[in-house]
């Protein structure tokens, strides 16, 4: 481990720096490799026309920053059960995204795996994660709201024994974990539509989650969150407008899963929804658009997700991205302040 573990704050900040440097340097040869192999992003034909020039831009950049995060965790963290679960959930979801990216590139289309295939994968990952979090980490099967109000979701619990260990399956809470993980993974994925948008918005959220984990006395989870934030700084060096590479579903799905896993393991499931309020708005804009069009034949937004709505209104891509970063930072700060005040 680099640094003195007696100074955990330094340990966390150093993790962010290591992940950032690793990502920034490793991304350059990866971009060259992707260009050499002709691995490029497929752009939606019904999207903004100015996005068509991005056709063929290298993708799957999430592979590099996820690798950097993993290396950093090996260097800076102790592999507790909590950290191991968070990493497994993140990388399994990232693997699901990688399959989606490979399918998209192989068939030269903007969509890879079918929605049902993605959903089956997310169900399996979230159920296993939820059961292990409750059984091995002692996570309470509750939903805790700011102010002390708590909903007990452990009323329908079954148990089974495997390898000498008793596993608890609180079905209602497991369903809640699935909604959280699947919802945030897809929400971050929807946000990944402009150069630097998802990366920058997730960066500030992960900084907030690192502080939450630190206050929760989970230094290793704080290192994990800080590593992701730092890796995204390195990624944004290459992903800022005009992007040299995209993170792909490999990155976006993994980032949402990491966010959800950290929320569960720090018991901030509700507060995290406020911290990730920008992602929630992006997902809600799509839901509202679909419901409105099916019910009335009219669209609420010029285009969904909502970042495309502002593009259609004449905002430049960089203006949308920077303003969304600011909004994301405001949500993250508000959520952390609420957690800090009431914890």
136: burial class by Cβ within 10 Å (0-12, 13-18, 19+)?
middle
Write the CB contacts of 175 (distance below 8 Å, at least 6 apart in sequence). Answer: none
Which tokens in the block code for residue 84? 């191991």
249 is in an annotated binding site: yes
Give the Cα separation of 326 and 277 in Å (integer): 12
Residue 189 labeled ligand binder: yes
Residues 6+ apart with CB under 8 A from 181: 89, 93, 122, 125, 126, 129, 256, 257, 260, 261
Phi/psi for 175 (5° steps) reads -65, -40
Distance (Å, whole) CA 173 – CA 179: 10
Cis peptide before 328 (omega within 30 of 0): no
Single out the residue of 332, 323, 328, 306 nearest to residue 201, CA to CA: 328
Cα(130)–Cα(139) distance, rounded to whole angstroms? Answer: 9
Instruction: Report the alpha-carbon distance of residue 337 to residue 37 in Å, rounded.
Output: 46
Three-class secondary structure of residue 192 per DSSP: coil
The bridge status of strand 165-170 relative to strand 150-152 is unpaired
The closest alpha carbon to 9, from 208, 203, 222, belongs to 222
Spell out the residues 6+ positions from residue 10 whose beta carbon is closer than 8 angstroms to its own: 3, 4
In the numeric block, which tokens belong to residue 199?
């990366």
The sign of the CA dihedral 303, 307, 309, 315 is: negative
Output the six-digit token pair for 141.
């099967």
Binding residues for Mg(2+): 189, 249
Binding residues: 189, 249
């Amino acid at each position: 481990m680099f640094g003195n573990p007696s100074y955990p704050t330094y340990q966390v900040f150093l993790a962010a720096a290591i992940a950032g440097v690793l990502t920034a340097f490793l991304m350059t040869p990866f971009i060259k490799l992707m260009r050499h192999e002709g691995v490029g992003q497929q752009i939606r034909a019904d999207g903004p026309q100015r996005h068509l020039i991005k056709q063929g831009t290298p993708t799957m950049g999430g592979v590099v920053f996820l690798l950097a995060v993993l290396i950093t965790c090996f260097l800076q963290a102790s592999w507790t059960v909590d950290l191991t679960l968070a990493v497994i959930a993140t990388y399994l979801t990232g693997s699901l995204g990688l399959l989606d990216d490979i399918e998209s590139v192989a068939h030269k289309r903007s969509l890879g795996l079918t929605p049902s295939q993605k959903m089956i994968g997310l169900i399996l990952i979230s159920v296993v994660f939820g059961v292990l979090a409750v059984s091995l980490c002692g996570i309470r099967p509750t939903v805790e709201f700011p102010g002390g109000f708590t909903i007990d979701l452990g009323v329908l619990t079954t148990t089974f024994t495997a390898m000498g260990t008793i596993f608890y399956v609180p079905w209602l809470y497991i369903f809640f974990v699935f909604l959280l993980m699947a919802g945030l993974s897809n929400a971050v994925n929807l946000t990944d539509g402009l150069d630097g948008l998802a990366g920058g918005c997730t960066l500030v959220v992960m900084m907030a989650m690192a502080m939450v984990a630190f206050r929760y006395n989970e230094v290793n989870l704080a290192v994990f969150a800080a590593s992701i934030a730092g890796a995204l700084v390195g990624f944004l060096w290459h992903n800022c407008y005009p992007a040299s590479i995209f993170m792909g579903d490999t990155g976006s799905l993994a980032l949402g899963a990491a966010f959800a896993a950290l929320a569960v393991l720090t018991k901030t499931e509700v507060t995290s929804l406020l911290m990730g309020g920008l992602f929630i708005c992006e997902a809600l804009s799509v839901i509202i658009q679909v419901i409105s069009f099916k019910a009335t034949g009219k669209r609420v937004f010029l285009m969904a997700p909502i970042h495309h709505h502002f593009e259609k209104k004449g905002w430049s891509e960089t203006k949308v991205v920077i303003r969304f970063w600011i909004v994301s930072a405001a949500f993250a700060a508000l959520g952390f302040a609420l957690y800090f005040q009431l914890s």
